[in-house]
Each structure stands twice: as structure tokens, then as C-alpha cells.
Structure 1
């Protein structure tokens, strides 16, 4: 299907969401890829991952770019050749990108019971505000997605979700919160926004100092 959803968090940031309903063959039609991307695509054993990869390239087209405009640094962080910031995510039947003039990160996750099993690996400070009368799985998924988004912003790698990233108090109805990376030499707060989409949680982080 065409573009599923577009979100404008502010005047210089856009989120593009794709619902992956096409076959791999249909997604491949008229899709120009770099040699690096062709190699990555061929190395993927999962059909879901291959379709997710190509759907991201369709989102780039929606935003006015091609695969030729995308490159990655040594830590695997994506960049655009025109200097704008980009972050990429896909999960099962959804993919999304966020493009901005400032630092951004994005994540989309399916709301699943299994997140309860792994919560001790990424929940620390947040344990103090999780609300028992709110949707527990969605809360945990927002926390995970927010930390994943901040992890993607940090350029040096090596962060741990549990000890190096904190997310501030929220309820699902708020659709927003804030978070920060607490490592030496990096003192920044970020605005976190989240949306529920067909059983998935979409989360993105934006530089809080530039959020008009």
C-alpha cells in the first residue's frame, strides 16, 4: 500500500510510516539500490526483514530521497548526504523513518506479552512510575522504544538501556514524555513522543532544545 501515515512533530521534522502489505517482488519494482544495499539485501535470510528493508527505501522516496542519498558511519548510524538527520526502524508489518534538521531517533515495536519477561534488562529508574492501572505492556513498550530511540541518537555506541538512559514519568494517554542519556560528556534532554498504531507502539525522540 502507499504511505500509511505522516506525522509532523514540529516544523523541521517529519515521520513517515509504511504498512508493509506488498510482496517482496512488488517492493522491488523500480527500486534503485546501491551495491552496499544490494549486498545487505542478499544476505538477509528472513522475508520479513527483506520486505522491511525495501519498504524503508520506499519511505525515502516519499521523503524525496533515494537509497543513493543514504549512508552509514562506522557504528552503523544512518546519515543523509544533505546533512539532515535520519533514523530508521521496522518491525513485522510496519516501517518508519524520521527526518529532521536536528538529532532524532525512532523505534516501532509490536505490543507483545514477552516484553514482561525481559523488562529487568531495560527498566531501572522507570520502575518508580509505572502505573498499575494503565496498560502495562504498552508502558513497557514505550520505555523500550524511547530508550532505543535515544540509543540511536547517541553517536558513540556502547550505551546500556538499563543504566545509561532514563525515561521520565508518563501515562499512555499523555502521548509524550522526556528522557536523557546519562553518560560523561553528554548532557542532553530529549522530548519523547509515542503513538499506538494497530497494535504497535511508535516512539521517537527529538532534541528538546529545538522543539518549536
Structure 2
């Protein structure tokens, strides 16, 4: 069973990773799915998406939940219900990319994004980030940092999920060093500013980024 790793990001935020080496049939037979999840799975045309979906359910069962404890709100955001093993409410975010599925459990609002390193992310960087943050880096670190920033924008958006938010025009990351594996971010939208703490890590040729929400303040 390729449960890959658990990473404690903060005192109350834990990341779980599954490396997908199984085929779809094995994963399907290893988890219990509610009817709505079966319908979602059957509608997926990509085998990669099917495996990512099922591997998330493997992770849930690994930490004492099941697909029956997971539900989505009207905006498509996942939530977990308390169960007999876990009686306290928690926040959850989910991501999968190619060979990995990931989920994060936290006591606070949280967003998670996992991205494979690919040149396209760097090529389109001017569309979503302040490219001055890539200055004086090696080509390799340019790609890594651009991917981290993309993950930052995605993870913040997963928390807010409001139509109209622009990655480049509304989400602003402080400049940061890759070695620190953390930074701060502001979301400036609808005359409010919200602050987020970001933590990130590197797993093989992937970047995993987690955003944690703090209360918004009015722009003065």
C-alpha cells in the first residue's frame, strides 16, 4: 500500500500524500464509495483523474475517514463530517497531480495545491505573478519558484472560491526564498484585504503548497 508520507505543516495542519502505483481496478476495490461518488467516477473520461479521485479516498480511509464522511458544498469545496473515530470538526482540502494525491486536514480554513514541475508554468508566469520575484535565480529555481507561486494562487483561491478573483490582479505574494518553505500573501478583492500564511514543500518533482486563512480587514 503506497501511503507515501505525512508532513506536519503547522501544529494543527497535517498533509497526507499517496503515491499512485495501483491500477484503477485495485483502487476501486479497495474503497467504499457512496452513490454520488460512483456517479462522479463513472463520468470521468481520464484514467489519471479516476486514479487520483480513488487515491484520495484511500487517504481518507488511511486516516480514519471514508468517502461517506466527505461531502461538497454548492461551490464544490470539500468538507468532512465528524464520525465515530473523529468527533471534532476539521477543515480539509484536496489535490492530485499525475502520480500523487494529497489531502490536508486542519483546524482552520485551508487550501491545498499540488503541481508537477513543467516548463509551461514558467512560460505563462507573466500572466499570473510578479515576474520580478524570479530575478537572479537559476533556470531550475525559476521553474520551481514559478510553480510555488502558481500553487499559492490556487491554494488561496480554493479557500475563497469567489467568481472574479484574478490570480495576478488580486492575489499578491511577498517575495520569498525557496529554502524558507513559507511566505505571506494578501488577497485584495471587493475593498477588503485578507492575509494568508503559506507553507510549501517539495516531493520528488512536485511542489505542494498549503494556504491558511486569517480574518479579513477592511482596506483603510
**TM-score clears 0.5:** yes
Structure 1 ranges of 4+ moved more than 4 A:
none
Mapping for residues 193-212 of structure 1, pairs under 5 Å: 193-207=199-213
Of 183-192 and 136-145, more deviation after overlay is shown by 183-192
Quote how far apart the aligned CAs of 1:188 are: 2.3
Matched residue, 1:3: 3
Structure 2 portions without partners, runs of 5+: 83-88, 216-220
**1:169 maps onto 2:175 in alignment:** yes
Q: Kindly indicate whether the alpha-carbon contact (under 8 Å) linking 1:189 and 1:207 is maintained by their aligned counterparts in 2.
A: yes
Mapping for residues 65-104 of structure 1, pairs under 5 Å: 65-82=65-82, 83-104=89-110
Identify which of 133, 139, 144 aligns with 2:137: 133
Report the secondary structure of 1:29's partner residue: helix
Once residues 154 and 186 of structure 1 are traced to their aligned partners in structure 2, the CA distance between those partners, rounded to angstroms, is: 13
Once residues 30 and 60 of structure 2 are traced to their aligned partners in structure 1, the CA distance between those partners, rounded to angstroms, is: 14
Note the alpha carbon deviations across 1:100-133, whole angstroms, 9 max, x for none. Answer: 110111111010111122222211xx32332332
**1:108 maps onto 2:120 in alignment:** no
Q: Kindly indicate whether the alpha-carbon contact (under 8 Å) linking 1:34 and 1:68 is maintained by their aligned counterparts in 2.
A: yes
Q: Kindly indicate whether the alpha-carbon contact (under 8 Å) linking 1:4 and 1:19 is maintained by their aligned counterparts in 2.
A: yes
Once residues 129 and 112 of structure 1 are traced to their aligned partners in structure 2, the CA distance between those partners, rounded to angstroms, is: 18
Q: Kindly indicate whether the alpha-carbon contact (under 8 Å) linking 1:131 and 1:171 is maintained by their aligned counterparts in 2.
A: no
Once residues 208 and 138 of structure 1 are traced to their aligned partners in structure 2, the CA distance between those partners, rounded to angstroms, is: 26
Structure 1 portions without partners, runs of 5+: none
Aligned residue pairs, count: 207
Report the secondary structure of 2:149's partner residue: helix
Cα–Cα, structure 1 residues 158 and 81, in superposed 2: closer, same or farther, change >3 Å?
Answer: farther
Quote how far apart the aligned CAs of 1:159 are: 1.6
**What is the TM-score with the length of structure 2 in the denominator?**
0.88
Q: Kindly indicate whether the alpha-carbon contact (under 8 Å) linking 2:91 and 2:106 is maintained by their aligned counterparts in 1.
A: yes
**What is the TM-score with the length of structure 1 in the denominator?**
0.92
* Superposition CA RMSD, Å: 1.6
Quote how far apart the aligned CAs of 1:185 are: 5.9
Of 164-173 and 151-160, more deviation after overlay is shown by 151-160
